[in-house]
Amino acid sequence: MGDLQSPVAIWAKGILFVVLGLFASALLLTFAPDWRVGLLLALSIWAFCRAYYFAFYVIEHYVDPGYKFAGLIDFARYATGRPRS
């Protein structure tokens, strides 16, 4: 499978991710309607967003500019010192 190239498909994919995240968050808060659950959910979303930013922007631009990651598995291989397959 090649890289996704269509701008329309890329936008659709991004919008679907947001819709899925909102739907899952709404269901979680429906199942456990507590302010602490909402706070922990917001904190976990923020932390994972920052981790994703770290993995793909900080590492590529500040730590190892010559290395380009293909995804989270590729980043995990890089972080553990394993070579690309």
How many distinct structural domains can be found in the chain? 2
Blockwise average pLDDT, block size 10, the chain, 85 residues: 83 92 94 93 94 86 82 85 69
pLDDT on residue 83: 67
Residue corresponding to tokens 């397959």: 85
pLDDT on residue 58: 86
Q: Are residues 65 and 41 in the same domain?
A: yes
Q: At what angle do helices 7-31 and 35-53 cross, to 10 degrees?
A: 150
Q: Are residues 56 and 42 in the same domain?
A: yes
Q: Are residues 44 and 26 in the same domain?
A: no
Give residue 47's domain range.
34-85
Q: Are 69 and 78 spatial neighbours (Cβ–Cβ below 8 Å)?
A: yes
Residue corresponding to tokens 């995240």: 21
Mapped onto helix, strand or coil, the DSSP state of residue 10 is: helix
Q: Are residues 84 and 58 in the same domain?
A: yes
